[in-house]
């Protein structure tokens, strides 16, 4: 299973996701794709097995991913302070991978149906969904 974690800015969300996955599943190979070098470095430091940076890295890695995890902004062009390009948003949206999107209360959007949870709680829920998808 190819699990691709995408993040931008400082990579805090991706770093936390990778740390928590690796704490339970050291054998899973995680691909850290940052929209900038700081995000990629943070996710690699957290234990990702592979890392790449930039628009092309996203385009290549979501094309054959089984699962994509990242902030909900990765499907909205110009989200995450402009780090998400229209090509990134289109590639993630078009990917056949199952997507686990973590909502954040930034980037000028509201996601109907989402509770007002902390980022930590949203990450916990995302990882709970990942656990349900993994083979027993």
Cα–Cα distance measured from residue 32 to residue 43, given in angstroms and rounded to the nearest whole number: 6
Q: Which two tokens stand for residue 29?
A: 């190979």
Whether pTM exceeds 0.85: yes
Expressed as residue numbers, the domain containing 50 is 3-133
What is the pLDDT at residue 49?
98
Per-residue b/e over 14-36, b at no fewer than 16 CB within 10 Å?
A: bbbbbebbbeeeeebebbbbbbb
- Convert the pLDDT of each residue in 4-47 to its tens digit: 999 998 999 999 999 999 999 999 999 999 999 999 999 999 99
Residue 34 phi, psi (nearest 5): -100, 150
The CATH number linked to 20 is 3.40.50
- Convert the pLDDT of each residue in 80-131 to its tens digit: 667 888 899 999 999 999 999 998 766 566 777 888 888 899 999 999 999 9
Q: Which two tokens stand for residue 126?
A: 């995302």
Total domains in the chain come to 1
């Amino acid at each position: 299973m190819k699990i691709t974690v995408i993040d931008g800015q400082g990579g805090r969300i991706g770093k936390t996701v990778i740390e928590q996955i690796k704490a339970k599943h050291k054998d899973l190979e995680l691909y850290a794709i940052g929209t900038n070098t700081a995000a990629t470095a943070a996710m690699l430091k957290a234990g990702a097995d592979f890392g790449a940076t930039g628009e092309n890295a996203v385009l290549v890695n979501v094309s054959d991913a089984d699962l994509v995890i990242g902030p909900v902004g990765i499907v909205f062009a110009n989200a995450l302070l402009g780090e998400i390009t229209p090509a990134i948003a289109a590639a993630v949206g078009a990917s056949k991978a199952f997507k686990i999107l973590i909502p954040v209360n930034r980037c000028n959007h509201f996601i109907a149906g989402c509770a007002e949870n902390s980022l930590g709680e949203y990450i916990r829920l995302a990882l709970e969904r990942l656990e349900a998808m993994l083979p027993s």
